[in-house]
Amino acid sequence: MNRDEAGPTGRYLDPRAAGLDAEVERAVRSGDLDPLLGLDQALARELMATGRPVWQVLAGALRGLAPSAEVLYCDDPFGVSYLVACLRPGARPDDGPGSGPDDGDTRSWPVRG
């Protein structure tokens, strides 16, 4: 989202972008992705936050799996916010030991619906 005139459009500055950026970053860093499900579609469109649908699909897919998050990069070098993160699903609260990706098995782990 454009945070300042250094953004790619140079003319599209919206002070609401910083708030949305912070909300997305907070959700990803904490591993609590539920706030992403509530992102406003119209606001995201106005701010050119084109990742909103994907963030919401990701949040839905990982719901209830207590993901761990590692933020690899988060900055706005060109007036546009960039966030790169690795999210790993944890075990469901009702699952016992050996039911999640942290059981030492590095192969793919099926997500049960």
Query: pLDDT tens digits for 52-101?
Result: 999 999 999 999 999 999 999 999 888 888 999 999 998 766 655 555 55
What pTM, to 2 d.p., does this model score?
A: 0.72
- Note whether 63 and 34 are within 8 A (CB): yes
Cβ(7)–Cβ(79) below 8 Å? yes
Which secondary structure element, helix H or strand E, spans residue 75, and what is its range?
A: strand 68-75
Q: Which amino acid is at 20?
A: L
The most confident of the ranges 6-15, 20-29, 93-102 is: 20-29
The residue extents of the domains of the chain are 16-102
